[in-house]
Amino acid sequence: MNDNGKPKLAMYWCASCGGCEISVLNIHEHILDVDAVFDIVFFPCIADFKLQDVQGYPDGYIDVCLFNGAIRNSENEEMAHLLRKKSKILVAYGSCSYEGCIPALSNLTSKEATFQTVYIDNPTIDNPDGILPQTMTKVPEGELELPFFYNTVKSLDQVVEVDYYLPGCPPEPPQIWAVLEVVIAALTQGAPLPPKGSIVGAKDVAVCEECPREKHEKTIARFYRPYEINPDPDLCLLEQGIICMGIATRGGCGALCPQVGMGCRGCYGPLPGVEDQGAKMLSAIASVIDVGDVGDDEKLLEQKIEEVIATIPDPAGTFYRFSMAHSILQRTRISENGKGDSE
């Protein structure tokens, strides 16, 4: 170790797509400031450090570790524990490590069904012998080992203690830079850090606050999937029947998706004080369903509402698109035959 006295920065990926790494590089020329201030000690995407290097560092050697990706398998969990031990500040960076994100949608099915799809059923798969990855495989040269694949995808804070959360899929560059500035000020000038457990790089208001679209009282007679409708460019998307998670999602992104006609996906997570983003979204969206004046006949009412609800084909996958691992129920219940009940 060649210690140059600079604060040490690490970034590591687990179950993720790699977009978070790109988002860090996407802060443009500020990346030079990051390089000037920090000494990068582990960052598999851009620098050649090995696991042994990290294992060799003393505990707490890394000043800031940006950890992205969810906990999908035993290797992810081991790395989470290792980096927690070696880091002073551990940041759950991006939606996957904060609340599960897209990888955690597989909590809506079983591990067996996931393997079946990924290694057998997908149209591009050519696997006539039905070979599935094994934790141990004997080859003439010896035994090969792969990590255990867990049934349930977890967020980083369900495995180790997390100091800060930086939401987004991926986090937006101005927000990343704002957070890095706070950290740099703290490390170089002793400025105070936000309280532990804070959600940083985001706002405390909903995406709607940042969305310039015109909003009126909402009543929805049917929902549209994005390909079914050409949205009006100025009107609130939700009012047009496009499911937009903006009302149940923390702002800070600048409402980028709604501004280009795509309903908010919900990647910045629940608003402050909300435990379960999906439940809040469900509650809000159901209450504005409009079935017209059908009177008080209970059967007819129910039937009319069901017709509108039928235009939301996948409520769990839609409302928990990014927050499944952090939701109250966390996963689907698997029935005896190993398949999800929903299948």
Partner 1 sequence: MTDQTNFEPMVVGFTCNWCSYRAADLAGMSRIKYPPNIRLIRLMCSGRLDPTFVLKAFEGGADGVLISGCHPGECHYLEQNYKMLKRFLLLRKMLIQMGIEPDRLKLLWASAAEGARFAEEVTKMVETVRSLGPLNWSKVVDSNGGHATVIPVLAKEEVTA
Residues at the interface with partner 1 (CB under 8 A): 71, 77, 108, 110-111, 129-141, 148-152, 154, 159, 275-276, 278-280, 282-283, 285-287, 289, 296, 298, 301-302, 305-306, 309, 312, 314-317, 319, 327-335, 340-342
Closer residue to partner 1 in complex, CB, 25/288: 288
Residue 23 vs 106, nearer CB to partner 1: 106
Contacts of 317 (CB under 8 A, 6+ apart): 105, 108
Q: What is the DSSP string of 99-137?
A: H-TGGGGGGGS-HHHHHIIIIIISTT---TT-----SEE
Token pair for 73:
């398998």
- Given the complex with partner 1, which of 139 and 260 has the nearer CB atom? 139
> Do 12 and 76 contact (CB within 8 A), yes or no?
no
Question: How is residue 24 annotated by DSSP?
Answer: H
CA–CA distance, 112 with 100 (Å, rounded to integer): 19
* Beta carbon of residue 341, minimum distance to partner 1 (angstroms, whole number): 4
What is the distance between the alpha carbons of residues 180 and 183, in angstroms, rounded to a whole number?
Answer: 5
- Tell me how far, at minimum, the Cβ of 154 lies from partner 1, in Å: 6
Q: Which residues are CB-neighbours of 170 under 8 A, at least 6 positions away?
A: 19, 20, 22, 23, 94, 95
Q: Which is nearer to partner 1, 191 or 310 (CB)?
A: 310
Query: In angstroms, rounded to a whole number, what is the distance separating the alpha carbons of residues 285 and 243?
Result: 8
**Burial label, 248 (beta-carbon count in 10 A; 0-12, 13-18, 19+):** buried
Which is closer to partner 1, CB of 215 or CB of 304?
304
Q: What are phi and psi of 334, to 5 degrees?
A: -95, 125
**Nearer Cβ to partner 1 (192/273):** 273
Nearer to partner 1, 8 or 280 (CB): 280
Cis omega before residue 44 (within 30°)? no
Shortest reach from residue 275's CB to partner 1, in Å? 6
How near is the Cβ of 183 to partner 1 at its closest, in Å?
30
CA nearest to 11, candidates 82, 56, 67: 67
